[in-house]
Amino acid sequence: MNLKIWRLILLWSLGLGTWIFSPAASAQTQPASPPAQDPLMNLMLSQPRVELGLVTVMSSFDPPVVRPGEETIYRVTVTALEQSVELPSEIDVLPSLELRPGAHGQILQLAEGKQIPLTTFNYRARPSSSGEFIVASFGVKVYGKPMTVPGVSLQVVDKPADAALARQMLLLDFPSTNLFVGQSVRARVRLPGSPAGSVQILQQVQLTGQDFIVDQSSVRQSVPTLPFGGSNVVTFVYETTLTPIASGKIAVSAQAYTAGSYLTPQLVITGTAPIPGGLPQYRLLESDPVQLTVRPLPKEGELPGFTGGIGNFTLDPPKLNTNALRVGDPVRLTVAVRKNGEGANLSRLAPPPSPASQEWEVLTAVPDTAPPQVIEAQGFAAFHYTLVPLSEQVRATPAIPFSFFDPTTGKYSDLTIPPVPVSVKAGALGADLRTLLQTNAALSDAEEELSLRGLASNPGRSTSSLVPWQEQPWFPLVQLCPATAFLGLWGWDRRRRYLEQHPHILRNRRARRALRREWRSAREAARARDGVSFATAAVNAMRVASAPHYPAEPRALVGADVIQLLGNGSGLANHDTELVRRFFTVADVSRFAAGPADASALLNLQAELDQLLKRLEARLS
């Protein structure tokens, strides 16, 4: 029993020790710092995925019951991305139901941990007579696949119930609809709450139309109580700044999605504003278009220094870094322009151009670098000029012409930046400043002489294409030509050097060629039954095939040399020795003897000769 206990204690100790010293345990005891991750990647990964698989198509009338001549919204809603929905250009309806395209947009709604795209197409419908109007089902393409928009009916009755007529719509208004080009104006989009007091928040508010720009940095959202329909109603208000950029009649509409209780950080709620809870019902609402009349700025009466400032502005007294200067010392002049009232395009205000002066070098002003919303909030924009006195005679900074257009009076107003007194002592102009002044002077002289120069009398430098050679597809191919040439040269050089180091390769190759030549001659002689020529060609063949192995001049070899070579490495049969001797004998006799040699017997030995020469050829490879 005791033994068992001690054994258990030993096992437990071993287990505990292993656990303590194991890397996993030490890792657990010392928590490792988490690896640093890209915050943008984290943000992206934290977003729910967008659901693109489940597509549903719905349609409805809002409201579904109207009086004849009243407007209602025919709304087609698809749970898919807007760009993937292909609607037919026209929807077939009865002629007594006027149907015009209205707003359309897309929003991502959160459901079950996913983002589901919701695309809405509004049509403004207006029935001219009472009855039931049916918009039959029709086909659309979503992600390239055919889907069906279900049919829906509209009841048009002369006296509908009040509740049936409740239609939510946006209200768009401007403080003034007569504007000048470039004049900023506050646009206010309102969504009145229900008579019970609840209000919906708006998302993706957009002003649609042509020839204007919207300043997104000036957006303000609030939920005040405003009069509507004869009583005070809690209302969602979205305000932004609109600037027309072309003259004429401009139609502006607003559109937005209702987002229930989705509160944005910039929202200001004053008083009591019940906001419905639960999941938001995203509905695309739109306003009636508002027409703005935009006039161009008058040309007459324009004052110097006008840089597009429209509104009512005042100038703070300009400030200098210091009033005591030396010639050549730069000084900073700060000018603050304040707006009076709404409608001034302060954040878009450009500083007036630097004046030309003999006594001052005025560098181009640096505009206010603060964000537009900060400029609008602080109510002024600051410009900074850098001035350099060129003479000790100056007593004040130069006046800088500046003006703005006041839309209330329809006239330009002067806002010239006044001179600031300074005292300037003598000093030397720096070399860099002198260079700058000379360059500026040269540039201004050159610019003064600018004018349109005449025609070229001939086409001049031409090309086949404006695309440069280096971007043409043939250019890399052309570069392959010299590259191939150099590679070929390099390869040839390597081969040459190798052969120089191994000359036997070249000798063997030449010997093989000569052997084949003589072998061919021997066969031809055999066919012609010319024994002497056959023997001579055979001997020559044996000599050229044996010469590289000594090395020696082939003509200097005799039969014994060939026999010796054939004997090296393998046993030479007697008939081979005899064969070589016979051929050499006949060849020598035919060459040196006075009488003709009898070589006819050798013609019968062609097969043996072929075997012999094959062996010699094999030794050359």
Partner 1 sequence: MKCLVPVAQRPRRRQLKLGCGLGIGILLVFWCSSSGYSASSDTVFQAGLESYRAGDYGPAADAFRQSAELQPASGTLQNLGNSEWQRGAVGPAILAWEQSLWLNPFNENARNNLRFARKSAQIEAPDLAWYEVVSTWLPVNWWAGIASLSLWVAVAMITLPGILRWRKTTWHQAVAALGLMVFLLTLPAHWGVHTRMRTGIVVQKGTSLRLTPTEEAQVVTRLAAGEPVRRESVRGKYVLIRAGSQALYGWIEQSQLGWLCPRTGKLGN
The binding site for partner 1 (CB under 8 A) comprises: 104, 206-208, 210-214, 245-246, 447, 450-471, 475, 478-479, 482, 486, 489-490, 492-493
Q: Where are the alpha helices (DSSP H) in 261-398?
A: 372-378
**How would DSSP label each residue in 588-604?**
HHHHH-SSPP--GGGGG
Q: What is the 3-state secondary structure (H, E, C) of 388-445?
A: EECCCCCCECCCECCEEEECCCCEEEECCECCCECEEECCCCCHHHHHHHHHHHHHHH
Counting Cβ atoms within 10 Å, is residue 162 exposed (0-12), middle (13-18) or buried (19+)? exposed
The residue among 250 and 579 lying less far from partner 1, judged by its C-beta, is 250
- To the nearest whole angstrom, how small is the minimum distance from the Cβ of residue 440 to partner 1? 15
* CB proximity list for 20: less than 8 A, separation 6 or greater: none
First-to-last C-alpha distance (Å) of the chain: 89
* CB proximity list for 63: less than 8 A, separation 6 or greater: 72, 164, 165, 166, 167
Q: Retrieve residue 555's tokens.
A: 């003509």
The residue among 24 and 452 lying less far from partner 1, judged by its C-beta, is 452
The residue among 208 and 397 lying less far from partner 1, judged by its C-beta, is 208
**Collapsing DSSP states into helix, strand and coil, what is residue 333?**
strand
- Which stretch of DSSP H or E encloses residue 205? strand 202-208
- To the nearest whole angstrom, how small is the minimum distance from the Cβ of residue 289 to partner 1? 13
Specify whether the CB–CB gap between 350 and 326 falls below 8 A: no
The residue among 260 and 372 lying less far from partner 1, judged by its C-beta, is 372
- To the nearest whole angstrom, how small is the minimum distance from the Cβ of residue 209 to partner 1? 9
Closest CA relative to residue 205, chosen from 279, 266, 284: 284
- Which stretch of DSSP H or E encloses residue 78? strand 72-78
- To the nearest whole angstrom, how small is the minimum distance from the Cβ of residue 218 to partner 1? 14
The residue among 12 and 486 lying less far from partner 1, judged by its C-beta, is 486
Counting Cβ atoms within 10 Å, is residue 408 exposed (0-12), middle (13-18) or buried (19+)? exposed
- To the nearest whole angstrom, how small is the minimum distance from the Cβ of residue 179 to partner 1? 16
The residue among 266 and 465 lying less far from partner 1, judged by its C-beta, is 465
The residue among 153 and 479 lying less far from partner 1, judged by its C-beta, is 479
The residue among 208 and 312 lying less far from partner 1, judged by its C-beta, is 208
- To the nearest whole angstrom, how small is the minimum distance from the Cβ of residue 472 to partner 1? 8
